[in-house]
Amino acid sequence: MPRYALRIEYLGTHFAGWQRQAGQPSVQGALEAALLRLDPGPHNVAAAGRTDSGVHAWGQVAHCDMIRDWDPFRLSEALNHHLRPHPVAVTACAAVAPDWHARFSALERGYVYRIIQRRAPLTLSQGQAWRVGWPLDVDAMAEGAAHLLGRHDFTTFRATMCQAESPVRTLDVLDVQRLDGPEGPEVHVSARARSFLHNQIRSIVGSLERVGTGAWTPARMGEALAARDRAECGPVAPPDGLHFTHVRYEPDPFAA
């Protein structure tokens, strides 16, 4: 059966997450329903990462198997037609080898978490950023983030219901930057790793916000990590601000 890689973006606000769930709207469910309009299936679309309810994606990657050969451009156009009116779009499609896997072939995943600092409620970015109505010390947040770089046991920063066999992960990038956005000052927390634990980024961002307000010292991030105790984590940041930005493969199936 021909296999195709799909690069997908979606607004996660009204979805219960990526994964198909009985009686709940999901991105996977919307995509598989669109595929059924083109091919009798059954379809079980595999993704590079299972985003939670309310989390968005610019660069999610999934793969699907079809009964007949499709021109990749025509397949993406047909899927986008049948995905309406869901806030989901296939932005690239490529034929891949039968053993290529969106999850297991991935070498790196990237996320950005958006925080907008302002007192007024958000309008244009409502549901797409965390509004914080108080100033944040970005330099202190960046200093705190540096304690988490590298290979560590991230028990403190993963959900209690996380199903990963090991809490050990290697965090390659954790940058904190301030930007002047049209809706007010923004803080972007960018993270890159081969894989992440359930709620790892939101747990880290929530703790970094405590550093930004001065409630935590930057060194407390390292202390919380070393404790390997979920009780030492700060409040978990809301899902609204989290965006799945990219997945890296070698070679890149979409390069052509």
Catalytic residue ranges: 52
Angle 20-25-28 (CA atoms, 0-180°, nearest 5)?
40
| CA–CA separation, 96 and 51 (whole Å) | 23
- What DSSP character marks residue 133? -
- What DSSP character marks residue 54? T
- What DSSP character marks residue 121? P
Using alpha carbons, select from 16, 72, 76, 66 the residue that is nearest to residue 42. Answer: 66
Q: Which residue has the tokens 């809490």?
A: 167
| CA–CA separation, 214 and 235 (whole Å) | 15
Hey, is 145 helix, strand or coil?
Answer: helix
